[in-house]
Amino acid sequence: MLRATAAIILVAGLPAYAQAPATLEARARELPQAFAAEGVVEAVRQATVGAQADGRVTQLAVKAGDRVQAGQLLARIDARVAEQGVAASLSQVAEAEANLVNAKRHYERQRDLAAQKFVSQAAVDQAEAAYKAAQAQVAALKASAGQAVTQRSFATITAPFAGVVGATHVEAGDHASPGRAIVTVFDPSELRVTATLPQATLARWKRELPVAVELPVLGRAVNAVRATVVPLADVKTHTVRVRLDLPSGAGLLPGQFARAQFPVGSVRAIAVPPTALLRRGELTAVYVLGAQGSWLLRQVRTGETLIDPETGPVVEVLSGLAAGEKYARDPVAAGIATASR
């Protein structure tokens, strides 16, 4: 009794959903022909900040997903060795400056005595040389001290620009050495897709816009605002890379998959939205509206994905659907309507 009741409820509920599935009319028209190239979302500005000093990581101030401002602290490395180097350099500078003062006074005395004919000119020249050497020594040690101060600053790692922390590559307590990656930061406001094109397709594309970029993770497509061809071809695959700048606010993350549709001409064809196709294994079909108002499942043979300037990506139908016939926009709704008859 329970199964019968459930069946009655199910059948009674079908017509409410499937009374009038939306229909579209098949028609042949000129559509832009596109070459589909798979790509990856990248950040235009992305930096992996590495260590420039050797030591233990004493503080990791951020974690993946944090927003940071330019100059904000990311990590800190043990700076005690660098501090000692600065102190030693400053002490050497102080000693050299004291020697410089003494050399200057000795040179002035020798010069005065030479004016009174008490010492020879050779003694004055020797004192002058010692004075200039002391000046050079002070300059060299000050430069060395500046280098030590710069080395000490490497213990503090800051964000190079405002953005989001994509990944941290160390933990507090890890040993950092020059060149080791610490934190990856990217700017989410400027994203692009890098796709690979065969050289022959590049010639057909002619670098024209718009280029539609399908974003499966969002279930929609956007038009690239700028296209840049990287002026270097791969000698093995004979392909070139193309960078497609995306509009701001796309809501994507670096590393996500994308598919770019490069216009390479036009073709006259019957095309349907991808959502109108019913795919079951090797079967590809559409629901066609029959003469008696019933829905007929008909197998079709599909071709390339084309770009409709008004609706976005559409699929070319090579056979199985004629111009003027009406088909269901939603094959699931048409199937339920057929089952309810």
Q: How many whole angstroms separate alpha carbon 164 and alpha carbon 152?
A: 26
Q: Each residue of 248-299: pLDDT tens digit? A: 877 788 889 999 988 888 888 999 999 999 998 889 999 999 888 889 999 9
- Structural contact between residues 42 and 230, judged by C-beta atoms closer than 8 angstroms: no
Burial class of residue 181 (count of CB atoms within 10 Å of its CB; 0-12, 13-18, 19+)? middle
- Structural contact between residues 270 and 27, judged by C-beta atoms closer than 8 angstroms: yes
Q: In this predicted structure, what is the pLDDT of residue 1?
A: 35
| Domain locations in the chain as residue ranges | 19-43+190-339, 47-75+158-186, 79-154
Q: In this predicted structure, what is the pLDDT of residue 294?
A: 87
Q: How many whole angstroms separate alpha carbon 281 and alpha carbon 126?
A: 97
Is the pLDDT higher at 241 or at 212?
Answer: 241
Fold of 47-75+158-186: OB fold (Dihydrolipoamide Acetyltransferase, E2P) (2.40.50)
Q: In this predicted structure, what is the pLDDT of residue 17?
A: 44
Q: Do 79-154 and 47-75+158-186 fall under one CATH topology? A: no
Q: What is the average pLDDT across 78-105?
A: 92
Three-state DSSP at 230 gives strand
Q: Each residue of 290-313: pLDDT tens digit? A: 888 889 999 999 988 787 777 777
Q: In this predicted structure, what is the pLDDT of residue 144?
A: 92
- Out of 2.40.10.120, 2.40.30.170, 1.20.1260.10, 3.40.50.720, the CATH code matching 19-43+190-339 is 2.40.30.170
Overall pTM > 0.75: no
Sign of CA dihedral 251, 253, 256, 257: positive
The mean pLDDT of the chain is 87
Burial class of residue 282 (count of CB atoms within 10 Å of its CB; 0-12, 13-18, 19+)? exposed
Owner of token pair 């008859």 = 341
Greatest alpha-carbon pair distance for the chain in Å reads 135
Q: What is the average pLDDT across 148-160?
A: 91
Q: How many whole angstroms separate alpha carbon 46 and alpha carbon 165?
A: 10
Select from 234, 260, 254, 286 the least CA-distant residue to 44.
Answer: 254
Owner of token pair 């990581």 = 57
Fold of 79-154: Helix Hairpins (1.10.287)
